[in-house]
Chain A
Amino acid sequence: MTAEAATHVTAASVVDAFARRHRFHWAEALPWIVAIGAFFVFPDYLALGAQILATILFGLSLDLILGYAGIVTLGHAACFGTGAYVAGLLAAHGWGEPVSGLLIAALAAALVGFVSGAVVLRTQGLTLLMLTLVVATMLYEAANKANTITGGADGLSGMDVWPVLGFHFDLYGQTAYWYCLVTLFLCWLIARCIVHSPFGRSLTGIRENERRMHAIGSPVFWRRLTIYTIAAALAGISGALISQTTQFVGLGVLSFDRSGAILIMLILGGVGWLYGAFIGVPLYMIMQDRFAAVDPVYWYFWIGLILVLVVVFAPSGAYGLGDRLARALRRRA
């Protein structure tokens, strides 16, 4: 097909090729079919399922900044944790309406992203990496100190989350599952729209060659800050989903572990193609759940081992594996 295209490239054909890029592909329905199927196949695991769905959203938000804009962060939990605490505090202080809670959490997290981004995005490379870590650590310690508000190391309890659009949160986690699934779906639509927009393409340009983006007159700093803020809001929604569905917020939501783990999950699934989180997060969380059941003491060792294997044999994660497989098949044909 490429050979054919190379000899007959016309304005009409390239316009058509570009117009096809953002059309929905049937494979994009797969995660949603699997998610809906899992609801019926694993009714006993819905609580875990809801956590996975919310964490996918966290990974998706990280992919926007890491995979598209090329911003490496070790502090994405700052936004996640802000969302979690804001939603938790609202519900603990008399406003348990979940949807508005999500939106307020998103705004708060976006504010954290915007303010911290305005500072840290002026730097690059290792400095940027360290500063993102610093922001998350500062928030962590602030939440730890403010124990009259956050409950400190004991965590925030006493949350009362109201029914979501009339559905009560049940013990089996059915409502939680659907709530997370629908929220994830809507956020995915937003993320998908962004990466295919001219703005999203310019982010890819920044990732590919920042110097050239400056030279074609692109306001690189503002582009980065914009996506950093949007990703912060999505991470905040993700944190809020977790605190609302578990009715508890602990300091762990702001921890380095949280920032590091999501990075690992995203790398497992592949960075920069929007679906890395949909593969990496379930893979990691199900492994974690199973390993912890089999080997409660050393489960982290097994995760580490698998990670080493992935980095050695499939450095681009599941995406790279799939891509290589597809190429091998095409060569056969």
Chain B
Amino acid sequence: MSAAALETRALSMSFGALRVANAIDFRLEPGARHALIGPNGAGKTTFVNLVTGALHPSDGQIYLEGSDVTALPQAQRVKRGLVRTFQITALFRGLSVLENVTLAVGERLGTASDLLRPSGRRRAVIEEAFALLERLGIADEALRPVRELAYGRQRLVEIAVALGLRPKVLLLDEPAAGVPSSETGTIIDMIEQLPAEIALLIIEHDMDLVFRLARRITVLVQGAVLVEGAPEAIAADPRVRQVYLGERERA
């Protein structure tokens, strides 16, 4: 068996008596299009925080391309290609769209620790960031402060910042959260066009988005994996219907 892009073994975490992650075994294959779903409070965002290193597990291991990264700080995991986006847009709101992306590109290329040469002279960094904005169709807004953008466009910047880091594994935490349904399509199209070699894990509530994008689905309930399988199997699974899909059951 080849190494998974991302793998967790018996990943656990408790806040006092509350177990928010309960021995989660999870594999994300290279190039995967995998969705993680579950009702509110199932521990999806906790899982993302554990995997990226924002939280430390009380037990279990995390492997990135086969090597144990459980003890690595967040920044080191990012350098190895593990990148996330945020459910609630987490951008540099006062800075321009382009600057948001140049910060990420600069960190990846290691130019961000330079104290001497003006950032405005780093052509390669600026051009790469701008090319990303063109790809996502937000180049026209490059010089506007992020806070002036419509929310749907901010979600695209959110993804642009992540892509500036050239991820191998990309965790999209509710990419369409807060976006009007008329604009969800743009975000889905954009995710579909992501390079195939990026292993994608999508944490999402929007079932249209999940069933359009995912080729594999994991259902998380009360901090533990309830079931994992192909979308059709998940949609047909009675337990999943009961805990999650409920009245929104698909025909």
Contacts and interface: CB of A to CB of B under 8 A. Distances in A.
A20 interface: yes
B247 interface: no
Given A11-B127, A197-B114, A216 B140 contact: no
Interface stretch (B8-16, B95-103, B195-203, B236-244): B95-103
B119 A201 contact: yes
Interface string B80-121: 000110100011111100110011101110011111111111
A67 B104 CA distance: 21
Contacts of A214: 54, 74-75
A215 B143 contact: no
A145 interface: no
A37 interface: no
Nearest to B74: A214
B119 A212 contact: no
Interface in A159-196: 193-194, 196
A214 B142 CA distance: 23
A223 to B, nearest CB: 8
Contacts of A22: 118-121
B107 A209 contact: no
Contacts of B107: 202, 216-218
A230 B130 CA distance: 32
Contacts of B61: none
A218 B93 contact: no
Contact of B115 (A14, A193, A220): A193
B52 interface: yes
Contacts of B165: 216-217
Interface string B112-153: 111111111111011100110010000111111000000000
Q: Which of B83, B90, B108, B161 has the most CB of A within 10 A?
A: B90
A197 B143 contact: no
Interface string A4-44: 01110101001101111110000000000000000000000
Contacts of B164: 216
Interface string A68-90: 00000000000000000000000
A21 B120 contact: yes
A125 interface: no
Contacts of A217: 74-79, 107-108, 165
Contact of A199 (B112, B120, B130, B144): B112
B148 to A, nearest CB: 10
A201 B142 CA distance: 17
Q: Is the interface of B mostly helix, strand, loop or mixed?
A: helix
Contacts of B118: 21-22, 193, 196-197
Interface in A205-259: 205, 208-209, 211-220, 223, 226
Given A5-B143, A205-B103, A212 B127 contact: no
B90 A202 contact: no
Interface string A142-165: 000000000000000000000000
Contacts of B83: 215-216
A18 B119 contact: yes
Given A199-B112, A204-B92, A212-B86, A15 B127 contact: yes
A224 to B, nearest CB: 13
A200 interface: yes
B112 A202 contact: yes
Q: Which of A5, A21, A202 has the most CB of B within 10 A?
A: A202
A201 B131 CA distance: 20
Q: Which of A6, A22, A201 has the most CB of B within 10 A?
A: A201
Contacts of B122: 198
A220 B54 CA distance: 13
Nearest to A215: B84
Contacts of B52: 215
Contacts of B95: 204-205, 208
Contacts of B134: 11
Contacts of B127: 11, 15
Contacts of B114: 197-199
Contact of B143 (A14, A193, A205, A209): A14
Contacts of A5: 143
A193 B121 CA distance: 12
Contacts of B123: 15
B161 A212 contact: yes
Interface of B: 52, 54, 74-79, 83-84, 86, 90-95, 98-99, 102-104, 106-108, 111-123, 125-127, 130-131, 134, 139-144, 161, 164-165
The 5 lowest CB-CB distance pairs between A and B, nearest first, are A217-B78, A208-B92, A22-B118, A18-B120, A198-B119
Given A214-B54, A216-B103, 4 more contacts: A199-B114, A205-B95, A215-B74, A217-B107
10 contacts: A9-B140, A14-B143, A18-B98, A22-B119, A197-B117, A204-B95, A208-B92, A208-B95, A215-B83, A218-B103
